[in-house]
Chain A
Amino acid sequence: SAQFQLAVPVAVVFAPGSVPGDLPRSLPFRDVQEMEISVNLRPSITSRYEMVYRRTTAQEEAALDVATAREADAALHPLQDASLGSLTMYVVPESSSLLPQGISVYVGKHRSALVRAGGGLVALRTRLQQLTQVMSFTASSISAALSDRVPDGQLGPDARRHLKSSLGYEITFSLLNPDPKSHAVDWDIEDAVNRYVQPVLDKLSLVANFSVDSQILYYAVLGVTPRFDKESSSFLLSAHSLPHVINPVEARLGSSAASLYPVLNFLLYVPERSHSPLYIQDKDGAPVSTNAFHSPRWGGIMVYNVEAPASPQVSLPLHVDVDMVQVMEVFLAQLRLLFGLSREELPPEFLLESPGNEGLADWELDRLLWAHTVENIATVSTTLTSLAQLLDKIGNIVIKDDVASEVYQAVASAQSAMAELAAGHLHLAFQASKEAVTSSERAFFDPSLLHLLYFPDDQKFAIYIPLFLPMAVPILLSLAKIVREARQRKKEPTKMD
């Protein structure tokens, strides 16, 4: 159908002394670069970078006149275009001391980057293009978002790790204590959530609604008995047994009865006394440093070993206070992984600023929005297509007015989302795509469209068999008679001869 175009507004700002000599026009000027994203899909997706080249303003110049890149980033932040999805790149002179030695690209916490000039316009262009992709989307991030619609072979192993786009997520932290007789485990989850998780979720609140809760489950055991290793006198869980760990635990986790959002589970497992310490081994047999693993689209599990008491006569249960900093570091890293926010392999001259306590840079949020918008539009199209297929299959299905209006609404919202994407308005596009998903799901899951409500045609035939069968008898008999007579007539002329 229509062209699927993702437009990214990029401002390239040249600091004094950084303008390359071979610019085609004098500053400021506009330039558009288009690129096809090679996903085997219909409609094809093109990305369109709308570049605006200009010189720094006096304010920006002042902001760049600081000691470090981090300070420059902080000073530049209030001067930028704050709208989602738009990027600003400051080109600094080759000799600038803002960037450390050997680093030519610095990506800040917000939507800007510092690029070292040098090597003429062509070299700068490739660098800028690479940078734009890092900060917005790449072919692989878009195809990961469409992973359910792309044939298997074309995807990397991590493509299906990302959570599907949804209007909300429920995050559940569970402490599994299989041995409450020996360990009285306490965790200050409330404080840890407020301190570490909430800032990230506040940032992500633009993407979806989040709810966080936690529970403690006693006598919840893993589905695998760990192997005892004599050398280290510890217990080991090998990588290939990890898939079997989750299922028995999951029965205890409890479903999210009160909402329909997908659940992200983060489990902290304190192994029973008879199985501690417990370590997870990777595929090569080396212990995993974090003692944690994650399961794509499901969540993560971390094993938390309790130190054995010094004297064996210590009175049970042993009181354990979980070190939440250690735990939350792992869980937050897993959360980023599940949202597809893991930082990709980058050339060594790239330097990414750590997002700090917020756990998430502004441009990472944009990446998520780009991917989710594309995924939402694709979901809407799939939902509406399957609805259309259902209607084709059952001719006499009744479409109520409200269902019809939801479908119209979904189509209109999806179209407006695509238009906004092409115009480079990421936020509006995302909002529209969310609305489209909501209406299309509401239409698709309307109880009046249950196909079981309608008689399939083969059952109607079954009912009328008592009519059709006796009626068929004389017809078949006379057909047989006609055939017989025709044969006889054929024989007769030969007889005459």
Chain B
Amino acid sequence: AGMAAVLPLLLPPLLLLLAAAGPGRARRDALREELLLSPLPAGDVAATFQFRTRWDADLPRGAVSHYRLFPKALGRLVAALGVRELHLALTQGFWRTRAWGQPPLQAPAGAELWVWFQPTVTDVDKAWKELSNILSGIFCASLNFIDSTNTVTPTASFKPLGLANGTDHHLLRYAVLPREVVCTENLTPWKKLLPCGSKSGLAVLLKAERLFHSSYHSQAVHIRPVCRDASCLAVSWELRQTLTVVFDTFSSGQGKKDWSLFKMFSRTLTDACPLASQSKVYVDISPKNKEKELLEVTPPPASVHEAIVQGDKRTYAVYDLLSPLLFNTSRSLNVQLKWKRPQDSSELPTPILHAQRYVSGYGLQTGEISTLIYNTHPYRAFPVILLETVPWYLRLYVHTLTIITKGKENKPSYIHYQPAQDRRRPHLLEMLIQLPANSVTKITIQFERALLKWTEYTPDPNHGFYVSSSVLSALVPSVIAMKDVDVEQSPLFTSLFPSSDGSSYFVRLYTEPLLVNLPTPDFSMPYNVICLTCTVVAVCYGSFYNLLTRTFHVEEPSRGGLAKRLANIIRKFRGVPPL
């Protein structure tokens, strides 16, 4: 759009002047933004941003095409492709559950996409392909590599998070690209979807050079239908953009665990996004180990919020950016946290549910995938759904599947196994396993490595092939009974996953991705062979050619050249008659 021309408009009386539009109607969309800062047990700090746009409109009907806060690109996508629920996460790094505790929102390393389609969608696979291609364009990610070889349809692990009547899992597609590297080019389009961009509000803190200089970075987009009000007669659409980042302040702060917004983001907050109806910063100041408060947050928070999050009672200092009092004393908000005395980093509180996965075995033919699932709850057993997707080139031997808890075999109450088809679809293994109290469950399965065709190897094949994280979904029993709270009033970080009842809470964990070496040929070999055979052929050809074209004629004996004289000298030494 380079050229431009001033338009001298000679307007014919095109429009009959009609009465002006009616008075401003009630806004039907609202934005809430929120930042949760939580010091992690190991001395790191996790910052979780959530931006929620709620739109009281029926998106998929296609009737709505006038967008205000909801981004048009995503809205059109949902309407055009019949998406009921969309969850996309792009993650760099791995959330260390053992050291950092239960994550507010975890995602597997790389890219994860799971989508529920509307029942009206006839060809789900086609819509899924189209969707991943378009998303790949929107987010500058390699989601276009999602195809049938890495897509599965889980039957139990991924239930709709929003409103849903009927959960026919044929409408669900799930894919993970563990190789995906997440960087600035993925963050920029993500920020562009925010109504305020990164110009004001909490998003000013999202500076790429700091965010990617961290131990863990995960950005996500969740779109789902929700109830418009308590009576739930109408549907609203919710877009949640979340971003979690973990800073290692301990090593960068000379062994001190103190941190501030400025230290982490090299920015401070000056205002709220003018479009937001709520803009809050929460700081987790829950006392650890039932001791007296060790933390000191400055500036002193205006209010304190107490909530039961993930089965634990937590205390949060709350800063409301929309309250005029906050910016009265100083022009910017730089939340700081100091530890009153050096904290003995004795034992870390272990999370109730965590897991570990590794690949074992030697050689390039067979191997074994082992998953360890820990339940550290002292007296309650609970079930967990494990989802494994393994690429087709690792051929699983299902008869070797063993699940052992406390030395005894643990029989899963539900197994869904879909075997892989070469170059068509991956293995899918879903199991419902009961975890006894205070136990470790070991799940092992053996596999054989397949030989790939030479064009199927990824670039740098000697690096290895990734196997995506396995997914654990569980309702973990809560230590403290939870109260039913109004979702609209509670902070955003508590309200993505629906809570079923007061005694347990939903947790979804991802294990480490695996890196498996496959038998890799020497890719330069074909060229070497060509070179070698060509040289041999050329030498043969050369001598044949010489033989055929050389003219032989008798030459008068002469004293000969230098070579002959040399040869004669040597022959003389050897006592052989000269030539």
* Known pairs A317-B274, A470-B534; A188 contacts B6 (CB<8 A): no
Surface stretch bound by A, among B73-81, B110-118, B560-568: B73-81
B24 touches A294 (CB 8 A): no
Check B2 for interface membership: any CB of A closer than 8 A. yes
B7 touches A354 (CB 8 A): no
B535 touches A328 (CB 8 A): no
A470 touches B11 (CB 8 A): no
> Measured between alpha carbons, how far is A153 from B2 in the docked complex, in Å?
20
A336 and chain B: residue at smallest CB distance: B14
Interface centre among B24, B137, B537 (most CB of A within 10 A): B24
- CB under 8 Å from chain B, chain A span 397-437: none
A20 cross-chain contacts in B, Cβ below 8 A: none
A324 cross-chain contacts in B, Cβ below 8 A: 20-21
> Measured between alpha carbons, how far is A466 from B21 in the docked complex, in Å?
79
B530 touches A357 (CB 8 A): no
A59 cross-chain contacts in B, Cβ below 8 A: none
Check B539 for interface membership: any CB of A closer than 8 A. yes
> Measured between alpha carbons, how far is A199 from B24 in the docked complex, in Å?
24
B137 cross-chain contacts in A, Cβ below 8 A: 255, 257
How far, in Å, is B239 (CB) from chain A's closest CB?
14
User: A180, A280, A470: which contacts B535 (Cβ < 8 A)?
Assistant: A470
- CB under 8 Å from chain A, chain B span 12-66: 12-18, 20-25, 65-66
> Measured between alpha carbons, how far is A381 from B196 in the docked complex, in Å?
47
B20 cross-chain contacts in A, Cβ below 8 A: 323-325
Check A64 for interface membership: any CB of B closer than 8 A. no
Check A250 for interface membership: any CB of B closer than 8 A. yes
* Known pairs A357-B15, A475-B545; A289 contacts B9 (CB<8 A): yes
Check B569 for interface membership: any CB of A closer than 8 A. no
User: B5, B13, B15, B17: which contacts A294 (Cβ < 8 A)?
Assistant: B5
Check A190 for interface membership: any CB of B closer than 8 A. yes
Total B residues in contact with A, Cβ cutoff 8 Å: 60
B11 touches A357 (CB 8 A): no
A196 and chain B: residue at smallest CB distance: B15
Check B416 for interface membership: any CB of A closer than 8 A. no
User: B192, B196, B530, B535: which contacts A463 (Cβ < 8 A)?
Assistant: B530
B15 touches A250 (CB 8 A): no
Interface centre among B4, B67, B530 (most CB of A within 10 A): B4
How far, in Å, is B14 (CB) from chain A's closest CB?
6
A317 cross-chain contacts in B, Cβ below 8 A: 274
B66 touches A214 (CB 8 A): yes
> Measured between alpha carbons, how far is A265 from B19 in the docked complex, in Å?
26
> Measured between alpha carbons, how far is A463 from B16 in the docked complex, in Å?
73
A319 cross-chain contacts in B, Cβ below 8 A: 24
B12 and chain A: residue at smallest CB distance: A354
- CB under 8 Å from chain B, chain A span 304-327: 317, 319, 321, 323-325
* Known pairs A218-B195, A473-B542; A213 contacts B6 (CB<8 A): no
> Measured between alpha carbons, how far is A386 from B17 in the docked complex, in Å?
50
A211 cross-chain contacts in B, Cβ below 8 A: 65
> Measured between alpha carbons, how far is A483 from B120 in the docked complex, in Å?
82
* Known pairs A180-B274, A188-B21, A258-B80; A294 contacts B4 (CB<8 A): yes
> Measured between alpha carbons, how far is A319 from B243 in the docked complex, in Å?
32
Check A495 for interface membership: any CB of B closer than 8 A. no
The 8 A CB mask of B433-477 against A (1 = contact, 0 = none) is: 000000000000000000000000000000000000000000000
A218 touches B15 (CB 8 A): no
* Known pairs A257-B77, A329-B15, A354-B13; A242 contacts B7 (CB<8 A): no
> Measured between alpha carbons, how far is A19 from B411 in the docked complex, in Å?
102
B136 and chain A: residue at smallest CB distance: A257
> Measured between alpha carbons, how far is A247 from B2 in the docked complex, in Å?
8
How far, in Å, is A187 (CB) from chain B's closest CB?
8
A473 and chain B: residue at smallest CB distance: B542
How far, in Å, is B321 (CB) from chain A's closest CB?
13
A258 touches B4 (CB 8 A): no
Surface stretch bound by B, among A6-14, A22-30, A295-303: A295-303
> Measured between alpha carbons, how far is A188 from B23 in the docked complex, in Å?
9
- CB under 8 Å from chain A, chain B span 195-220: 195-197, 199-200
Check A447 for interface membership: any CB of B closer than 8 A. no
Main secondary structure of the interface of B (DSSP, over half): loop
How far, in Å, is B337 (CB) from chain A's closest CB?
30
A189 cross-chain contacts in B, Cβ below 8 A: 66
B4 touches A478 (CB 8 A): no
B21 touches A463 (CB 8 A): no
* Known pairs A214-B65, A294-B4; A219 contacts B18 (CB<8 A): no
Check A212 for interface membership: any CB of B closer than 8 A. yes
A252 cross-chain contacts in B, Cβ below 8 A: 192, 197
User: B81, B275, B538: which contacts A467 (Cβ < 8 A)?
Assistant: B538
The 8 A CB mask of A343-376 against B (1 = contact, 0 = none) is: 1000000000011110100000000000000000
A328 cross-chain contacts in B, Cβ below 8 A: 15
A218 touches B67 (CB 8 A): no
Check B575 for interface membership: any CB of A closer than 8 A. no
> Measured between alpha carbons, how far is A213 from B9 in the docked complex, in Å?
24
A212 touches B6 (CB 8 A): no
B537 and chain A: residue at smallest CB distance: A467
> Measured between alpha carbons, how far is A293 from B137 in the docked complex, in Å?
30
> Measured between alpha carbons, how far is A282 from B6 in the docked complex, in Å?
6
- CB under 8 Å from chain B, chain A span 242-275: 242-243, 245-247, 250-252, 254-259
A295 touches B4 (CB 8 A): yes
B79 and chain A: residue at smallest CB distance: A258
Residues of A within 8 A of B (CB): 161, 172, 180-181, 186, 188-193, 195-196, 211-216, 218-219, 239, 242-243, 245-247, 250-252, 254-259, 280, 282-283, 288-290, 292-300, 317, 319, 321, 323-325, 328-330, 332-334, 337, 343, 354-357, 359, 463-464, 466-467, 469-471, 473-475, 478
- CB<8 Å pairs between A and B, sample of 30: A161-B5, A181-B271, A181-B274, A188-B21, A188-B25, A189-B66, A190-B66, A213-B66, A218-B195, A242-B4, A250-B1, A254-B73, A258-B81, A293-B6, A294-B5, A295-B1, A300-B7, A323-B20, A329-B15, A333-B9, A333-B11, A337-B7, A356-B16, A466-B535, A466-B538, A467-B530, A470-B538, A474-B542, A474-B546, A475-B545
Query: 9 more A-B contacts (CB under 8 A) besides A219-B196, A337-B7?
Result: A172-B72, A191-B21, A254-B73, A258-B81, A288-B8, A294-B5, A295-B5, A330-B11, A469-B538
